[in-house]
Amino acid sequence: MNEAAARRLALGLAYRGDHYHGWQSQPSGRTVQDKLEAALREFAAMPVSTLCAGRTDTGVHGLNQVVHFDTPLDRPEFSWIRGTNRYLPRDIAVQWCRPVPAGFHARNSARGRRYRYLLLESPVRPAIEFGGCGWVFRPLDGAAMRAAAAQLIGEHDFSSFRSSECQALSPVKQLRRLDISRHGAYWRFEFEASAFLHHMVRNIMGCVVAVGQGNRAPGWMAEVLAARSRDAAAPTFAPEGLYFVGPIYDAELGLPDATAAMDWIP
């Protein structure tokens, strides 16, 4: 590729994660990144390598995953959207395309990241929404969960909520928001942080649900946080209800921070 002629593009992507082995490319080819790069290669008629804002695990969904790549091709933005989507599976779709400065990096330029967890509270397991939500059959106490969640807000060492496979250089992160609301039979948990450790949201969810079901008192959350040990926390919660809402960038970049799928999730 002629570097002088190359330009950098950012794409916003939405996908269902239940049929894929996470985001990151693997020899099996059964990942979201593999499917995206294969589609881009078909459309661009040349190899295209992408970098994403936040890797997602097996079963985790994306509402506004952002990737960037360099290309010498000069094509309209809508052409990249429609052309790439032509070659993508039906559960992955490019939502938008924007040119970005050469120094833009989908991961490193992010000022924060957002996740959403959707949880069904029902005596009956999910059916239509299978694969798209977590599930509990015992009633949850919203006030207790909010009291527990409040103890995590701020900058902390989140080692108790960190996977043993986590490659982050530091366990210290700033959790800016953990809002809990109910919509009919569904609970919605909104997370925003400077960054997240591997399995951090799902490990927090395991603890919040333990409190909500009355297995632990709200004050237990502070004890788990202070322990700085994964053994102190509850088991990792199911991936099905977890959605990567997307990264947060400086406003002057003009990148969309929402997609249509966000209106569909309760």
Place of tokens 């693997």: 26
- Max distance between CA atoms of the chain, in angstroms, equals 61
Cα torsion through 180, 12, 101, 170, rounded to 10? 40
3-state secondary structure of 181: strand
Catalytic residue among 18, 34, 57, 141: 57
Exposed (0-12), middle (13-18) or buried (19+): which is 150, by Cβ within 10 Å?
middle
Distance between CA atoms of residues 41 and 225, nearest Å: 45
**Cβ atoms 31, 71 nearer than 8 A:** no
61 contacts 115 by C-beta, under 8 angstroms: no
Residue 128 CB partners (closer than 8 Å, separation 6+): none
Residues 6+ apart with CB under 8 A from 261: 14, 63, 95
Cβ-Cβ contacts under 8 Å for 124 (sequence gap 6 or more): 137
Task: Tell the residue number behind the tokens 């960054």, with chain if given.
Answer: 195
Q: Annotated catalytic, 57?
A: yes
Catalytically active residues are: 57
